[in-house]
Amino acid sequence: MRSRTGADATASSEEEEREDAESPPVRRLADWSAGRVEELAAEYDTPLYAIDLDRVRENYARFAAAFPDATVMYAAKAHTGRAVLSALVDIGAPIECAAWGELDRAIDAGADPDELQYTAVNPPDRDLDYAVSLAAEYPGLTITGGARDTLDRLAERGYEGRLAIRINPGIGTGHHEKVATGADAKFGIPYEEGPAVAERARKDFDLVGLHAHVGSGVLDDDLEDHCRAISRVGEMAKRVASGGSLEFVDVGGGYGVPYRPDEEPLDLEKVSDGVREALSGVDARLRLEPGRYVLADAGLVLTEVNTRKETPETTVIGVDASLGTLIRPAMFDSYHPIENVSAPDREREAVSVGGPMCTSADVFATDRPIARPERGDVLAIGNAGAYGYELASQFHSQPRPAEVALEGGEARVVRRRESLADVTRVEQ
């Protein structure tokens, strides 16, 4: 792809970027200090989210360094906490948003509205109203539409600004069928309709880009399919560009991290080479939207054991975290590493770990070898930084947990623990 001048989403200096890029490509749960983690649980109570902002910056800088001529945006939906957004904005990361609330929170965290990108997926009226109103004041904002109907609704609102059209490449990859968006009809304009939609879009808008997202949790084994889908995006970009130049081609995010101990970290050099080869000959700037890669291994959930129940089938370990705290295992069958940070040297035993919710889905692990948990022990659940707090709920009227940020060795509360009054405050 062609390189262009302009503000790249990189660290504050090339030297800092090179230093950050040397950080380990994966942070395993065992790499966290068990003693420090247990101290956090004692000081701030459980269940508790902990997010390491230094690691967030390192992960972003490493990814950006692999694509030095691209615009690397942060996909806000992975974690919209103000501390996270501010940490990334401070090092120059543009923000990609999927809802009006994310646009508002990004701006509140210091993001330049002229650098925001809003990716509309079946957008409610309030989303489009907000985005169009924002673009009227900040014409650098880009709106991405994935349906002819969305373009009609934008035109009805008098929008004539920067537009990218999202196409569906027909190939999906990722860790679960629920995130393989590249083959899901919900996402994007049908592939062969791309040129006609682009021709129509040029009449009403400033068509600046082509967008696609293949899926989430992409690791090396998925890379061939991922690049095959991106190659289709590249071919479509060439067809669309025949009617007028494009400023950028956005291939989304979805780049994964190893949740399981036997999985290797993503080879970013291999990814970069594959993506560039797939887009060979495309005369536009590359955009990417990592979210999970930046946040996942920077976050933990800390939870206290309250019940130990031995049964003929298994030993059940009850904890105070639940699917309301971290829903990914229940929603996506996701594996999250778990360690007993109170007594990591005890003999391991196979146990099933679950929370207090009245559903069989409220389970974090089944027959998992863990250092023998006893009542009062603190367990750490790893790789919880991405799509952890974002998907937290108040099911069973349980207040959502506090969140502490780690930075420069210090900890501070960045999201207080909810009270029952917070749960019921909006009721009438």
Name the catalytic one among 158, 311, 358, 360. Answer: 358
The pairing of strands 315-319 and 206-211 is unpaired
**Within a 13 Å sphere around the CA of 388, how many CA atoms are in the beta-carbon half?**
29
Interhelix angle 223-241/268-278, nearest 10 degrees? 30
d(CA 363, CA 148): 41
d(CA 220, CA 27): 17
d(CA 181, CA 387): 16
d(CA 371, CA 34): 13
Known catalytic residue at 358: yes
Q: What Cα–Cα distance (Å) separates residue 383 from each residue in 119, 257, 282, 313?
A: 26, 9, 36, 28
- Residue 91: name the closest of 300, 294, 249, 286 by CA: 294
92, 10 in Cβ contact below 8 A? yes
165, 211 in Cβ contact below 8 A? yes
In this structure, the chain runs to a length of 428
Locate all alpha helices (DSSP H) within 205-291, ordered by sequence. Answer: 223-241, 268-278
Residue type, 345: D
Q: If you count DSSP H runs as helices and E runs as strands, how many of each does the chain have, helices first?
A: 13, 19
Instruction: Provide the annotated active-site residues.
Output: 358
